[in-house]
């Protein structure tokens, strides 16, 4: 199981790296647009914050050729660590098949259906990325989606992993894993909130009160 940060902020990435349990980062064009006008140069900054972990980069171009060239350029920066993240369309499935044939690691993102998982498996993607909270808001049931993706990948005996995204709470993070996701990505505030529980906090206050600090 791998925990990633969902952000394009260098400051968030540095803070997440300090937590000790966050191994890499996922970005998308919307997150990138908040931080930079030069996404490939910005990707290099994010790679530097996580010198060993995966960094998922989603091309900002939307045509097949633009996505292909941007994904190739991104992967060339760190071939072992950059994962080209592509929204689960027909073009993306075709492109993922081409890029994986070149040795570039790919993921299909914004995934909501087992049919999309089937195609990610066929294209040799390392990850499929369901948007759990968005699915819940769309009444598809976020965790039901994760369950059905897990069932499809198990049926196919696939090496493609489920990276749960669009996670808004610690419960959504842990429930995603319990429902079949292998890995998770979440914003910094959600990652920081993972250990929070009111009874843990009251126990901490009780222990501290037993040994008043001078």
Q: How far is the CB of 59 from ligand G3P (least distance, A)?
A: 14
Judged by CB, which is closer to ligand G3P: 45, or 134?
134
Judged by CB, which is closer to ligand G3P: 26, or 116?
26
Q: How far is the CB of 51 from ligand G3P (least distance, A)?
A: 22
- Tokens 């039901």 found at: 144
Q: Three-class SS of residue 123? A: helix
**In the annotation, is 37 catalytic?**
no
Judged by CB, which is closer to ligand G3P: 158, or 166?
166
Interatomic CA distance for residues 74 and 104, integer angstroms: 10
Summarize as ranges the residues that interact with ligand G3P (CB under 6 A). 6, 26, 28, 131, 133-134, 165-166
Catalytic residue, candidates 42, 81, 85, 121: 85
| Distances 91 to 68, 79, 100 between C-alpha atoms, Å | 10, 22, 14
Q: How far is the CB of 162 from ligand G3P (least distance, A)?
A: 13
Q: How far is the CB of 186 from ligand G3P (least distance, A)?
A: 8
| Distances 108 to 92, 151, 191, 203 between C-alpha atoms, Å | 8, 17, 23, 43
Q: Which of 60, 38, 51, 46 is nearest to 7 (CA)?
A: 46
| Distances 111 to 21, 163, 198 between C-alpha atoms, Å | 25, 10, 34
Q: How far is the CB of 155 from ligand G3P (least distance, A)?
A: 26
Judged by CB, which is closer to ligand G3P: 133, or 175?
133
Q: Which of 48, 152, 170 is nearest to 108 (CA)?
A: 152
Judged by CB, which is closer to ligand G3P: 114, or 187?
187
Residue 12 and residue 26 in contact, taking contact as beta carbons nearer than 8 Å: no
Q: Three-class SS of residue 117? A: helix
The dihedrals phi and psi of 186, each to the nearest 5 degrees, come to: -150, 155
The residues assigned a catalytic role are 85
């Amino acid at each position: 199981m791998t925990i990633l940060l969902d952000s394009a902020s260098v400051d968030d990435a540095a803070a997440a790296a300090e937590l000790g349990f966050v191994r890499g980062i996922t970005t998308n064009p919307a997150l990138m647009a908040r931080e930079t006008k030069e996404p490939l140069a910005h990707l290099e900054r994010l790679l530097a914050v996580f010198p060993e972990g995966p960094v998922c980069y989603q091309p900002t171009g939307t045509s097949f050729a633009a996505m292909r060239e941007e994904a190739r350029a991104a992967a060339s920066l760190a071939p072992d660590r950059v994962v080209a993240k592509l929204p689960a369309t027909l073009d993306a499935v075709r492109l993922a098949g081409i890029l994986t044939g070149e040795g570039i690691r790919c993921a299909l993102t914004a995934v909501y259906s087992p049919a999309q998982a089937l195609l990610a498996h066929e294209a040799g993607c390392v990850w499929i990325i369901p948007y759990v909270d968005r699915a819940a808001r769309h009444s598809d049931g976020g965790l039901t989606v994760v369950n059905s993706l897990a069932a499809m990948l198990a049926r196919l005996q696939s090496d493609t992993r489920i990276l749960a995204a669009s996670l808004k709470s610690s419960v959504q993070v842990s429930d995603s894993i319990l429902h079949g996701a292998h890995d998770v990505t979440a914003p910094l505030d959600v990652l920081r909130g993972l250990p929070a529980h009111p009874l843990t906090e009251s126990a901490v206050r009780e222990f501290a009160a037993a040994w008043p600090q001078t």
